[in-house]
Amino acid sequence: MTIPLPTELTALARIFRDAGFPLYAVGGMVRNACLGLPVQDMDVASPMPVSEARALLEARGVACREKGAFFGTLDIELGEYTFEYASFRAEEYGAGGAHRPGAVRFGATLEEDAFRRDFTVNALYYDILGQRLIDPTGGLADLKARIIRATSPDPNVILRDDGLRVLRMARFAAELGFSVEPGTLAAARANAAGVLDISAERVREELDKLLLADIRYGLGRERVLCGLSTLAETGALAAVLPEIAAGAGIAQRPEYHAYDVQEHMLHACACARPERVARLAALLHDVGKPVAFRETGRMLGHDAIGANISREMLARLKYPNAVKEEVAGLIRWHMFDLNGNAKESTLRRRFAGWGAAFTLALADLREADVHGSGRISGEVKSALRWRAVLARMQAEGAPLSEAELCCTGADIMGWLNLPPSPRVGEIKRILLLHCACHPKDNCRARLGQVAKDIGK
């Protein structure tokens, strides 16, 4: 089998050959080429130690930088590409699933290097100059069968050593549209608690990739649901996001929901727009329900409760503050105008306070929530109406932020003879809400008059 490779990679392989070492493309580059998918990872490997590889390449004028001395990796820049080089190695892990091995032995054989990798479909090697595929672990057969399988005959070895592999297993299955081999799935279930040994940043990275698994290679949204369901089935979801797992078994009104609270959140996430904040908000939108139900026997107020819980969850996973606050805001207001009966003036004032981007994001969340119920498909009345009202406001030139008002705080102080004070900000806010309903008043003359009326 011949795999098309960049000419730069062939040139790199010749440098290694001249030094007496073969160079192999490995992992996702080979896997995707075999599947006819875009090649996005540029990983290469050989028996040459990383220190020797660096000296060799720098002597040839090839830019490179050491990426991880402990793991023997090197970033090699050639032409428009960056290749990640790794020396063949074998690894030994201690107790727990902390991802970093206790010891690394370089100088391993290709077969040893293959069997220390996570899944067979990621343990394919391609001899670049020899143009031959090497498959020590049976990855080709698993590609054809569309299966994710651990490289070791005992999958517990793979999934016990590194807790991140449970998350990667679900993510690869989702991205590629594969199923998980039963023995590997059972091992993931037995070792799911290992994800607790992984850093929050690594967990967050894997979660983000899984939430957008459908757009990695253009597969359908159901792949996100499959990935999340796999995490739930193994217990990794309960380990990483116990607040979601708390919704398992909590039934909802059957006329509105086909699923319990946990399953509804997973379905809503898969229905959401493929963007990080949108998917996170849909995934977490009902995390307040278990708490509300436990405390009151009802689910009233779960939106406000859920907003606070979501902040705690996203902070725990080290999400940026901007993401944390946007998600929490969407959750806080996801029950607003549930039946689509709010007066247009009420909507206009809300939308002016929220801004266009947040309003549209909330409409998207409403649709994901409804479609993720398992009961309703098609158009969502409230979301359609919100978008129509917002479009009219924009067409009329209604301000959607205080920055769009045709006056400043200094203007207000001059009109009302006020010193700098919170009252100035209060009046400016009232002017914004006024102009949301009366866009033609957003000119200095009218704003001055309205401000004087307010200040009386």
Give per-residue pLDDT as tens, 139-151.
999 999 999 999 9
Element (H, E) at 16: helix 7-18
In the structure, what pLDDT confidence band is assigned to residue 166 with cuts at 50, 70 and 90? Answer: very high
Tens digits of per-residue pLDDT, 18-56? 999 999 999 999 999 999 999 888 899 999 998 899 999
Predicted confidence (pLDDT) per residue in 311-332, tens digit: 999 999 999 999 999 999 999 9
> Of 385 and 91, which is predicted with more confidence?
385
pLDDT of 99 strictly over 90: no
185/145 Cα distance (integer angstroms): 16
Q: Which residues contact 331 (CB under 8 A, 6 or more apart)?
A: 281, 284, 285, 287, 288, 303, 306, 307, 310
pTM of the predicted structure, to 2 decimals? 0.92
Q: CA 433 to CA 426: how far, in whole Å?
A: 11
Residues sharing a CB contact under 8 Å with residue 449, sequence separation 6 or more, in sequence order: none
Local structure of residue 141 (DSSP, 8 states): H
The per-residue pLDDT for 334 is 98
Cβ distance 222 to 269 under 8 Å? no
Q: What is the pLDDT of residue 90?
A: 76
pLDDT at 243 exceeding the cut of 80: yes
In the chain, % of residues over pLDDT 70: 95
Instruction: pLDDT band for 84, please (50, 70, 90 cuts).
Output: very high
DSSP-based three-state secondary structure for 184: helix
Predicted confidence at residue 67, as pLDDT, reads: 76
DSSP string of 290-358, one letter each residue: HHHHHHHSS-TTHHHHHHHHHHHHHHHTT--HHHHHHHHHHHHTTTTTTTS---HHHHHHHHHHH-HHH
In angstroms, rounded to a whole number, what is the distance separating the alpha carbons of residues 369 and 23? 50
Residue 28: CB partners within 8 Å, gap ≥ 6? 39, 40, 41, 43, 122
> Cβ distance 46 to 87 under 8 Å?
yes
